[in-house]
Amino acid sequence: MRTLVKPRPLFIGLSALCLLAIWLSLALGPVSLPLFDTLRAALRLVGVPIHGEGLEQAELILGQIRLPRTLLGLAVGGVLALSGVAMQGLFRNPLADPGLVGVSSGASLGAAIAIVGGSAIGGLPEAFGPYLLSLCAFLGGLGVTALVYRLGRRNGQTSVAVMLLAGIALTALAGSTVGLFTYLADDATLRTLTFWNLGSLNGASYARLWPLLFVTVGVALWLPRRASALNALLLGESEANHLGINVEGLKRELVFCTALGVGAAVAAAGMIGFVGLVVPHLVRLLAGPDHRVLLPASILAGATLLLFADLIARLALAPAEMPIGIVTAFLGAPFFLYLLLRGRH
Amino acid sequence: MLRTENLQIRRGQKRVLTNVTLDVRPGEVLGVLGPNGAGKSTLLAALCGELAATEGQVLLDQQPLNQWKGVERARRLAILPQTSTLDFAFRVEEVVGMGRLPHQTGTVRDAEIICAALDAADVGHLAGRSYLALSGGERQRVHLARVLAQLWPGQNGQTLLLDEPTSMLDPLHQHTTLKAIRTFADRGAAVLIILHDLNLAARYCDRLLLLEEGHPRALGSPHEVLQPVPLKAVFGLDVLVQAHPELGHPVIIAR
CATH number assigned to the domain comprising residue B245: 3.40.50.300
- Per-residue model confidence (pLDDT) at position A188: 81
Contact criterion met (CB < 8 Å) for A236 and B86: yes
Strands (E), chain A: 153-154, 157-158
Task: Give how far B46 is from chain A: nearest CA, Å.
Answer: 13
CB < 8 Å to B90, chain A:
231, 234, 288-290
Going from the C-alpha of A276 to that of each of A121, A173, A261, B39, B221, the distances in angstroms are 36, 22, 11, 43, 57
Across the interface, which of B50, B87, B130 has its CB nearest the CB of A238? B50
Sign of CA dihedral B154, B155, B159, B162: positive
Kindly identify which residue of chain A lies nearest to residue B100, measuring between CA atoms. A243
Is residue B49 a contact partner of residue B66, using CB atoms and an 8 Å limit? yes
The CA distance from B149 to A268, in Å, is: 47
Beta bridge partners of B194: B32, B163
Residues 6+ apart with CB under 8 A from B106: none
Residue B209 has pLDDT above 50, yes or no: yes
Give me the mean pLDDT over the B144-167 stretch.
Answer: 93
Contact criterion met (CB < 8 Å) for A235 and B129: no
Task: Give how far B253 is from chain A: nearest CA, Å.
Answer: 37
Name the percent of chain B lying above pLDDT 70. 100
pTM of the entire structure?
0.90
Name the percent of chain A lying above pLDDT 70. 96
Lowest mean pLDDT among A310-314, A315-319, B3-7, B130-134: A315-319
Give me the mean pLDDT over the A240-263 stretch.
Answer: 93
- Per-residue model confidence (pLDDT) at position B241: 93
B103 interface with A at CB cutoff 8 Å: no
pLDDT, tens digit, for every residue of B112-127?
Answer: 999 999 999 999 999 9
Give me the mean pLDDT over the B127-131 stretch.
Answer: 92
CB < 8 Å to A239, chain B:
79, 81, 84
pLDDT band for B78, please (50, 70, 90 cuts). Answer: very high
φ and ψ at A108, to 5 degrees?
A: -60, -40
Chain B 45-84, CB below 8 Å of chain A: which residues?
48, 50, 69-75, 77-79, 81, 84
Residue B166 has pLDDT above 80, yes or no: yes
Structural domains of chain A, with CATH: 97-271 (1.10.3470.10), 274-345 (no CATH)
Domain of B63, in residue numbers: 2-254
Residue A209 has pLDDT above 50, yes or no: yes
Residue A345 has pLDDT above 50, yes or no: no
CB < 8 Å to A288, chain B:
89-91, 94
- Per-residue model confidence (pLDDT) at position B12: 83
Lowest mean pLDDT among B13-17, B120-124, B240-244: B13-17
Average pLDDT, chain A: 87
Question: How many structural domains are present in chain B?
Answer: 1
Q: Quick one: which of A3, A77, A20 has its CA closest to A332?
A: A77
Contact criterion met (CB < 8 Å) for B101 and A245: yes
- Per-residue model confidence (pLDDT) at position A1: 45
What b/e sequence results for B194-228 when a residue is b if at least 16 CB atoms lie within 10 Å of its CB, and e otherwise? Answer: bbebbbbbbbbbebbbbbbebbbbbbeebeebbbe
CB < 8 Å to A235, chain B:
84, 86, 95, 98
Beta bridge partners of B3: B23, B59
Going from the C-alpha of A227 to that of each of A289, A303, B101, the distances in angstroms are 11, 20, 11
DSSP characters over B190-228: EEEEE-S-HHHHHHH-SEEEEEETTEEEEEE-HHHH--H
Give Cα A160 to chain centroid, integer Å: 22
pLDDT band for A129, please (50, 70, 90 cuts). Answer: low
The CA distance from A161 to A165, in Å, is: 6
Kindly identify which residue of chain B lies nearest to residue A234, measuring between CA atoms. B86
What b/e sequence results for A316-344 when a residue is b if at least 16 CB atoms lie within 10 Å of its CB, and e otherwise? Answer: eeeeebbbbbbbbbebbeeebeebeeeee
pLDDT, tens digit, for every residue of A214-226?
Answer: 999 999 999 999 9
Contact criterion met (CB < 8 Å) for B85 and A288: no
Contact criterion met (CB < 8 Å) for B70 and A94: no
Contact criterion met (CB < 8 Å) for A238 and B75: no
Give me the mean pLDDT over the A241-247 stretch.
Answer: 94
Contact criterion met (CB < 8 Å) for B86 and A235: yes
Is residue A270 a contact partner of residue A112, using CB atoms and an 8 Å limit? no
Task: Give how far A335 is from chain B: nearest CA, Å.
Answer: 19
Q: Residue A180 has what DSSP assignment?
A: H
